[in-house]
Structure 1
């Protein structure tokens, strides 16, 4: 294989959750550009239709799967009906940053419900999907730099992402014998619709930039190279690993 061939996703099918906007949208389009056909999953059909139109314009196929990933039974039922999925990007997530003194049980249930519980059962579903079809696939769990460090006002988010890191390492051990690889992508703060409100606070933006050694806030395009790498044969001996895309945040 040539270097470019090893990064190709031609002939592969990928499922991306949270695919309607932000990071999920960028990764789905990158997978299509690398040659994959897509199954796009989120709660909002209109968002998915817009992404699907972008993907079909690239000459790839895009199927819409409207689903709330917190409904694990619905996700499992719909995933069982899909033709073979080679790549699963477990991307859906939320954040509710606030001091620990202000975190409520509702905050806990919402953040852990999506970031950890839904991600856990989605990974379980896709592990079975690949196992039953004898697919030597790639599962990419969207983590964060906050899965490797701590931060004020983010105890809940950090707990969820440290959980994702533990899930990923354990899954890589359990699924390795099946040829299924499991890794995480760990971004710093990326400009998306979800993070846009944070950067309206100049003090927060100054704080983030003071921790990012490369001196800039991340963009969704900063993540797509790692996503294609982990999805492709270029990373065929990589599992149980975390790809840090944090501008040096966790190095300090």
Structure 2
């Protein structure tokens, strides 16, 4: 992995940091000189990540508002935020329950709002311009079978991105989303191991492959960087052309 951005002297909070896209994002940012606060629920994976990258681990469940308030209420102002914490409960629309819908929304949408609230307050108080990136999904942009709750939560996250863009822009804070296709995290590799399920999905991607976590982490780093200094309020598909159809 080659770091192509310079985040020296900048501090960035990454949620959902213990695995997948979040972990890859921490690796890219640390390799690029950032001081990274890596937040997640998995204590052991956070410890391993801290040992490997030098990040500062923060145990945090973003579905717990009180925990967010306690963990971030006294957080020093940071220069960037990556809202990557997310869950997926895939079920048919006719089987969706209020409990499962609420659980997905609590992490994927509400959690991102509550974390961004604290980070924005700190940035504004410190008069520190910065950038936020919300990790959304192609499921926010197109309909997918068995994804009702997940799609709704990610579409809500994109709406959050636009609202934050409008309200925080006057303070010099940029807010964007990235919308990845299937990304080959360890969980996804297992979930898509069946050729009968995998091959039709791949045929819908013009590049004929899924994304690697690093291929999402690098655009996230771009949006955090000064190279994207005039980009705010966008939802950027990282999907090999899937949503172009």
Aligned pairs, how many? 243
Check whether the contact 2:77–2:119 (CA below 8 A) recurs between aligned residues. Answer: no
Quote the residue 2:83 is aligned against.
90
Check whether the contact 1:169–1:240 (CA below 8 A) recurs between aligned residues. Answer: yes
Structure 1 residue ranges, 4+ long, deviating more than 3 angstroms after superposition: none
Counterpart Cα distance in 1 of 2:65 and 2:135: 18
Quote the residue 1:235 is aligned against.
228
* Displacement after TM superposition at 1:105 (Å): 1.7
Describe the shift of the 1:146–1:230 C-alpha distance in structure 2 as closer, same or farther (beyond 3 A): same
Quote the residue 1:19 is aligned against.
17
Deviations 1:69-110 (A, max 9, x none): 111222122223222211100000010111101111221121
Quote the residue 1:53 is aligned against.
51
Quote the residue 1:155 is aligned against.
148
37, 41, 64: which is aligned to 1:39? 37
* Displacement after TM superposition at 1:243 (Å): 1.6
Counterpart Cα distance in 2 of 1:167 and 1:11: 28
* Displacement after TM superposition at 1:177 (Å): 0.2
Describe the shift of the 1:144–1:11 C-alpha distance in structure 2 as closer, same or farther (beyond 3 A): same
Quote the residue 2:57 is aligned against.
64
Quote the residue 1:145 is aligned against.
138
Matches within 5 A, 1:1-252: 7-56=5-54, 62-252=55-245
Counterpart Cα distance in 2 of 1:26 and 1:221: 6
TM-score if structure 1 supplies the norm length? Answer: 0.92
**Secondary structure at 1:140's aligned position in 2?**
strand
Check whether the contact 1:79–1:129 (CA below 8 A) recurs between aligned residues. Answer: no
Unaligned runs of 5+ in 2: none
Check whether the contact 1:140–1:183 (CA below 8 A) recurs between aligned residues. Answer: yes
Moved more, 67-76 or 88-97: 67-76
Deviations 1:133-179 (A, max 9, x none): 11101111010111111111111111111111111011101110000
Check whether the contact 1:186–1:245 (CA below 8 A) recurs between aligned residues. Answer: yes
* Displacement after TM superposition at 1:224 (Å): 2.0
Unaligned runs of 5+ in 1: 57-61
Quote the residue 1:59 is aligned against.
none
Counterpart Cα distance in 2 of 1:174 and 1:222: 29
TM-score if structure 2 supplies the norm length? Answer: 0.95
